[in-house]
Amino acid sequence: MNTDFLSPVESVVLAHNELLPPQAIGRSIRIHSEKEGFPELEGVKIALIGVDEFRNAKVQRQDHLKLKELRKQFYQLFMGNWGYAIADLGDLHPGASVEDTYFALNDITSGLLKRNIIPVVFGGSQDLTYAMYRAYDTMEQMVNLVSVDSKFDFGEADELISSGSYLSKIIVNPPNNLLNFSNIGYQTYYNAQEEIDLMERLFFDAYRLGEVIADITVVEPVFRDADLVSVDLTAVRAADLGSLPHANPNGFDGREICAIARYAGISDKVSAFGLFECEATSQGAQLAAQLIWYFIEGVNIRKNDYPFAPVENFTKYIVPIEDMDIHFFKSNISGRWWIEVPKNEDLHNNIQRQTLLPCTHEEYLRASEGVVPERWWKACKKMLV
């Protein structure tokens, strides 16, 4: 990891820290500063990186949130009962080209992943997700990506990469490491029917805004199987962001988006988190800071069950449906549920490594009544592609 890409946290933010109580985050974490230099990463679990790159944003504007404003809001929050060290590595400023910024973020993310440090990237436009995704190329693993966004961000096939088309580049550009993509909070009127149909054909998962608001716990299993989580803050309704003209009237409220960030943190598997398209208002900065806080809070209450716990820590349930048996597993550590996806020995692909799929207790109950879980059926069909 080339630390030269990163600039120290601005002195005005550090001066603000001096006014904070000793229990505040800004007085308790390791910070990249001009005076102290780059922080020691030994024992660090979570590393914060600010990125000031908006050249490929969906909407070009002059009022992007300044990284120092988000930091001030985050630093003044109080620490939770956290058992891990946190470091703020400073800012990645725009390179000579957007591709230079992607390269630098890729290098930083990859370096942190190899150290088992979770990068939390904030600021910038959502196309930076592409650079974070490409960091997994060196990890020799398939990647599950979850995006919290009102749009799918497919874009046109021949369109240059942007925050409105980065997903197409992830799907098309080699190496093809994407195992699954899930969208949380899409709004139908912002997505062409062809895009919705494409999500179905690719066996990707999509959850409408109304569906998630009605029962936010439905998305918890989605995050449990994620490696990389990308949050577009414009998925939050305008009233909760400070009501900028380009913000959406509909979307998640502050409490819902914080619950989503906490679910992402709780997941034992999530290894990178991005928060993008932050709004340039005091209220937007406060909400972004609280999202990061809730993600860190989630990380610190991880249960470390599947895939880390031995099979003895699970209770197995066999549900007969028609001419087959579906196997469910309940963790004795956390009470969470998984469903077994049977392997196809005739196939020789990376999907064979995934045997347990996160699910809900309700899906087990419905299966007991003869209803095949949709996520299980999709996973089985995907193995044949």
Residue 310 has pLDDT above 90, yes or no: no
Output the pLDDT for position 56: 85
Residue 27 has pLDDT above 70, yes or no: yes
Mean pLDDT across the stretch 42-70?
85
Residues 6+ apart with CB under 8 A from 130: 102, 161, 166, 169, 170
pTM for this model (two decimals): 0.92
Asked whether residue 278 is domain-assigned, the answer is yes
Question: Are residues 294 and 315 part of one domain?
Answer: no
Question: Are residues 89 and 132 part of one domain?
Answer: yes
Question: Are residues 43 and 160 part of one domain?
Answer: yes
Question: Are residues 156 and 109 part of one domain?
Answer: yes
Domain span holding position 176 = 3-299
The one-character DSSP state at 310 is -
Alpha helices in 203-318 (DSSP H): 209-214, 220-224, 254-266, 282-299
pLDDT, tens digit, for every residue of 277-288?
Answer: 887 789 999 999
Output the pLDDT for position 245: 62
* Residue matched to tokens 């309700």: 362
pLDDT, tens digit, for every residue of 167-177?
Answer: 999 998 999 99
Output the pLDDT for position 347: 47
Number of domains making up the chain: 2
pLDDT, tens digit, for every residue of 322-363?
Answer: 888 999 999 999 999 999 988 765 544 454 445 789 999 999
Residue 110 has pLDDT above 60, yes or no: yes
Output the pLDDT for position 344: 62
Output the pLDDT for position 61: 59
Residue 247 has pLDDT above 90, yes or no: no
- Please state whether the peptide bond connecting residue 175 to the residue before it is cis, i.e. omega within 30 degrees of 0: yes
Task: From residue 273, give the alpha-carbon distance in Å to each of 9, 82, 147.
Answer: 20, 18, 10
At position 58, the amino acid (one-letter code) is K
Mean pLDDT across the stretch 178-205?
93
**Helix (H, G, I), strand (E, B), or coil: what is residue 320?**
strand
Output the pLDDT for position 283: 92
State the pLDDT confidence band at 228, using cuts at 50, 70 and 90. very high
User: In terms of pLDDT, which residue wins out, 154 or 44?
Assistant: 44
Whole-angstrom distance, CA of residue 277 vs CA of residue 243: 14
Question: Are residues 217 and 175 part of one domain?
Answer: yes
Strands (E), the chain: 6-7, 30-31, 44-51, 85-92, 118-122, 143-148, 178-186, 205-208, 228-232, 272-276, 314-321, 324-331, 337-340, 356-359
Question: Are residues 282 and 371 part of one domain?
Answer: no
Mean pLDDT across the stretch 20-40?
95
What is the percentage of the chain residues whose pLDDT exceeds 70?
91
Asked whether residue 306 is domain-assigned, the answer is no
Question: Are residues 350 and 214 part of one domain?
Answer: no
Whole-angstrom distance, CA of residue 46 vs CA of residue 61: 31
- 144 burial class (0-12, 13-18, 19+ CB within 10 angstroms)? buried
Question: Are residues 204 and 63 part of one domain?
Answer: yes
